[in-house]
Amino acid sequence: MTETVRTQALTRRFGEVTALDGLTLAVEEGEIFGLVGPDGAGKTTTMRLLTGILEPSSGEAWVDGLHVVRDAGPIKDRIGYMAQRFGLYPDLTVLENIDFYADLYEVPRAGRGERVERLLAFSNLTPFKRRRAGNLSGGMKQKLGLACALIHTPRVLFLDEPTNGVDPVSRRDFWRILYQLQQERVTIFVSTAYLDEAERCNRIGLLHQGRLLACDTVDGVKGLLKGALLEVRCDQPRQAVGFLRSAALGSVALFGDRLHVLVEDAERGRIAVEAALRAKSITCQDVRVIEPTLEDVFTSAIPGGAA
């Protein structure tokens, strides 16, 4: 497979702050790659470096065979970039916004109308093409932003948290469009803080405080969690978190009204959990082994333990 995006020890500093620290990864042609992490992890910095908006402090990166610094101009013709706050013009209609971006990308007038109509149909915006962008719902604005980013038929699409704040139905529709793009061999590099959304990607990278903690398929990343994961149902779950951590039983995290405890051995861990809670007069209703989620993996991988 052809590597469409590649970074080597990519680093960006802002004064004394290192926003991205030695990022090395590769994304293949036609792949949906997810960069996953909380706010402040370095996702937006990565996007801006790969799209030529920022220059790295050190390290290198290539997109579609072009160097992000030496070939910053030509790269812009091959990529689409949808920032967290995409620059839609609220007083322009859907059609006028797309046409404006077509002018920016110098899309030829010949055949442009057909391309615009295809994008409108593709994003389910045809019935709303005369509506002003400011009057669109959040999900429809995201679809319009995507249509604008696709008007020049990019080979690589960079999407920075594209569904942040969008309702679940619109998120599902948005991903349906991304899958259609993937079938056309468009490489999609998407950042997200939603771990359930990360499950939709072919491969993911877990980013925390500028450092890549893991990079693999979703199942591969889950497989990095060694030991057994116990789900614990008990009285006073919030208090129980502290007690179990102080008992040095392993990674402990609160998931709603239940606890997830990572232990080396399932049976010995179950006995230890029940004993630790009993010693604090906390009633334990159930302890069972469960399959880890990405959130479990990410929580256990964060330096300093679980939240």
CATH number assigned to the domain comprising residue 204: 3.40.50.300
- CA-CA distance, 180 to 183, in Å (whole number)? 5
Per-residue pLDDT reduced to its tens digit, 108-151:
999 899 999 999 998 889 999 999 999 999 889 999 999 999 99
Same domain, 216 and 234: no
The pairing of strands 32-36 and 79-82 is: unpaired
Helices (H), 156-293: 168-183, 195-198, 218-222, 237-246, 266-279
pLDDT for res 306: 41
- CA-CA distance, 89 to 167, in Å (whole number)? 22
Same domain, 114 and 235: no
CATH number assigned to the domain comprising residue 242: 3.30.70.270
Same domain, 7 and 153: yes
Choose the final residue of a domain: 222, 255, 281: 222
pLDDT for res 248: 67
Same domain, 185 and 255: no
- Whether 14 is covered by a domain: the verdict is yes
- CA-CA distance, 68 to 53, in Å (whole number)? 9
Please identify every stretch of the chain with a pLDDT value under 50, giving residue numbers as ranges. 304-307
Same domain, 205 and 236: no
Q: 105 Cβ partners below 8 Å, 6+ apart?
A: 77, 151, 152
Residue whose C-alpha is closest to residue 37's, from 27, 23, 51, 49: 23
Phi, psi of 275 (to 5 degrees): -70, -40
Same domain, 205 and 235: no
- Number of structural domains the chain divides into: 2
Same domain, 34 and 126: yes
**Global pTM value:** 0.87
pLDDT for res 307: 37
Cα 291 to its chain centre, rounded Å, is: 22
Same domain, 167 and 93: yes
- Whether 68 is covered by a domain: the verdict is yes
- Whether 239 is covered by a domain: the verdict is yes
- Whether 181 is covered by a domain: the verdict is yes
Q: Which long-range contacts (CB under 8 A, 24 or more apart) does 151-154 make?
A: 151/98, 151/101, 151/102, 151/105, 151/107, 151/115, 151/116, 151/119, 152/77, 152/80, 152/102, 152/105, 152/106, 152/107, 153/115, 154/78, 154/79, 154/80, 154/186
Cα 200 to its chain centre, rounded Å, is: 10
Same domain, 132 and 244: no
- Reported residue count of the chain is 307
Same domain, 217 and 232: no
- Whether 300 is covered by a domain: the verdict is no
Per-residue pLDDT reduced to its tens digit, 26-63:
999 999 999 999 889 999 999 999 999 999 999 999 99
Same domain, 37 and 167: yes
pLDDT for res 303: 55
Rg (CA), the chain: 23
Which run of H or E residues covers position 75? Answer: helix 72-78
Residue 158, domain extent: 3-222
The pairing of strands 258-263 and 211-216 is: unpaired
Same domain, 64 and 79: yes
